[in-house]
Amino acid sequence: MKFHWTAATPQPALCARLSQASNISPLLAQCLVNRGLSEPEGISRFLQPRLKHLADPFLLPNMEAAVDRLLAARQRGELLVIFGDYDVDGVTATALLIETLGASGWKLAHYLPHRLEEGYGFSREAVMNCLELFPANLLLAVDCGSTACETVAALGQKGIDVIVLDHHQVSTPPPAAVALVNPQLGSAFQELCSVGLAFKLVHALVKRMRQRGLADAAEPDLRTHLDLVALGTLADLVPLQGENRIFVTTGLERLNATRRPGLLALKAVAKSPALLGSYEVAFQLAPRLNAAGRLENAEQALRLLLARATEEAEPMARGLDERNRQRQDIERGICEEVLASLRGRFDGAKDFVIVEGRAQWHIGVVGIVAARVLQEFYRPTVILGGDGAMWRGSGRSIEGFDLAAALRSCDELLAQHGGHALAAGLTLAADKLDLFRARLNELARQALTPAQLQPSLLIDAEVELAELTVARVEELGQLEPVGQGNPPVRLALCGLSHKQAPQRMGRENQHVKFRVTDGKHTLEAVWWHGGRASWPDGRFDLAVTATINDYKGRRSVQLKLLDWRPRQ
């Protein structure tokens, strides 16, 4: 058994009341209760997300100060330099700000740092390079800057103002920016990523311009930029709850109807389906946009999003597709090295974290490798690489271990660090690797229990095969878009047996298809990438998600296997 199954507590009385009040099935009601929704009004807003439900952007910390300084720059004709990050969240946020502010009277320039040459974030080297190209008195740091105290202080001494628009954890003390717009400082928007914050910033600017009589025919229609918001939000894997759910639901509608040449070209090279969902955006479009920043510079990804003609967009999309294949090859090689090394010496009782580093490992893919290693060993993982005395790395963590906080506890060992509880970046002297590994392991041993080192699978409800009709599965589809913080509905089916022997499928026989029965009803199940695992036999329980299989116009329910266990 791969997972520890955790069943949500059934609440039949509450679900019956919600079922009647909201005209939904008790099963859907239970799934909504599991997601923290226990009142009809909240359920209505969740199932029918609307832009009108977005909160006042001025509720964000320091938004007022940011808006005042930006409007002053517009009035004076000052150059505003947008300093973005090189991942999809940073690039989409930068693109949104360029399009909206550029059309609304701001004098703009932008700068994206080079991952290999300038490192992560609002570093002094990158900022100095930026100012050499674009001498300015006002920088807007997007998706970075929340820990850049020294850089911001140095700029302040030169009379250069900095506005930070970011969602990463904030240093103590925070950087002395003119405005630090970061929901981590305390607000109801803690799950927003930077492209969502960029939308809120422009919304706040539009509101204030209207109030001051500054709005004109050039006022941006923010709805036309929701395709960028959905793209960046899904790529950053933030929880799809609250305002993120509104952004992604409305943004996917825009994305599927987009006429943006860059996105149309990107969909074509990714061979995406006509109708995109959250999966296709996060795992087909986003990796191709990320590839540019991982291997070199994210400028080509930004230019693709801003492209105005198909002839301009198509070559760039093909270039990003090729870089993505290069990225996959590099990542695969490093991942094989790491896993081969770990499988022979990993000790689950002692190794609470995994820290691996090697000269020449490409720093642009170490974060993806860390995620792959975590998938196999389920331990907080940091992978580092570089070509000199200083190595740069990226880490991924598990529930219960705040990686960004742990890095702060290793501050004297690190040259630079920052990030989230579950993902963070760092710079480390190569000769301190063993010390860092030991310190991080000690912190993890103090924070994690053995039970937390086995992945948990939260089961929404135990159901019978008879309940999983096409109509019921379609109703559960109202929970879409699913993702981080709003997972697909996971169901337990107990006491099943095989109706038909499992059959391997796929080019390398890597998948398994079989039919299961409870003695009265039968359904088809698919176990993706289960071809090399042990198969259930005798009587067994399954943890599944239920999907609709549409084959030649015939719609039927198909089970997607997540895990199995022998029937006790």
Beta bridge partners of 424: 395, 419
Asked whether 231 and 301 are in contact (CB, 8 A), the reply is no
DSSP assignment, residue 193?
-
Could you give the 3-state DSSP secondary structure of residue 359?
strand
Element (H, E) at 66: helix 63-76
pLDDT above 60: residue 1? no
Could you give the 3-state DSSP secondary structure of residue 416?
strand
Beta bridge partners of 416: 427
Sequence-ordered list of residues with C-beta below 8 angstroms from that of 176, at least 6 positions apart, any chain:
149, 152, 153, 156
Q: In what order do the strands lie in the sheet with 179-181?
A: 107-111, 79-83, 138-142, 161-165, 179-181
Greater model confidence, 496 or 297: 496
Rounded to 5 degrees, what are φ and ψ at 175?
-60, 145
Same fold, 57-232 and 345-453: no
To the question of domain 57-232 being in CATH 3.90.1640.30, the answer is yes
Return the minimum-mean-pLDDT range out of 294-303, 310-319, 363-372, 539-548: 294-303
Question: How confident is the model at residue 302, as a pLDDT?
Answer: 96
The model's confidence at residue 433, banded by pLDDT at 50, 70 and 90, is very high
| pTM for this predicted structure | 0.90
- Return d(Cα 369, Cα 383) in angstroms, integer: 7
The CA angle 123-302-385, to the nearest 5 degrees, is 45
Q: Which CATH architecture has domain 4-48+457-566?
A: Beta Barrel (2.40)
The model's confidence at residue 567, banded by pLDDT at 50, 70 and 90, is confident
Question: 285, 310, 155: which is closest to 232 by C-alpha?
Answer: 285
Q: How many CB atoms lie within 10 A of CB 250?
A: 19
Q: Which CATH architecture has domain 345-453?
A: Roll (3.10)
Cα atoms found within 13 Å of the Cα of residue 551, Cβ hemisphere only: 5
Question: How confident is the model at residue 217, as a pLDDT?
Answer: 59
- Measured distance between the N- and C-terminal CA atoms of the chain, rounded to whole angstroms: 13
β-strands 423-429, 390-396: how paired? antiparallel
pLDDT above 90: residue 502? no
pLDDT above 50: residue 119? yes
Tokens encoding 27: 């099963």
pLDDT over 70 percentage in the chain: 99
In 281-380, at which residue ranges do the beta strands (DSSP E only) sit? 354-359
pLDDT above 90: residue 297? no
Return the minimum-mean-pLDDT range out of 137-141, 157-161, 210-214, 543-547: 210-214
Q: Give the CA distances from residue 354 to residues 2, 328, 341, 403, 421, in Å, rounded to whole numbers and listed in that order.
A: 19, 22, 12, 12, 16
Tokens encoding 446: 């103090």
The model's confidence at residue 253, banded by pLDDT at 50, 70 and 90, is very high
Asked whether 233 and 244 are in contact (CB, 8 A), the reply is yes
- Return d(Cα 391, Cα 404) in angstroms, integer: 18
Max mean pLDDT among 39-53, 286-300, 528-542 falls in 39-53
Tell me whether the omega of the peptide bond preceding residue 481 falls within 30 degrees of 0, making it cis: yes
Q: How many Å separate Cα 511 from the centre of its chain?
A: 27
In the chain, where are the structural domains located? 4-48+457-566, 57-232, 345-453
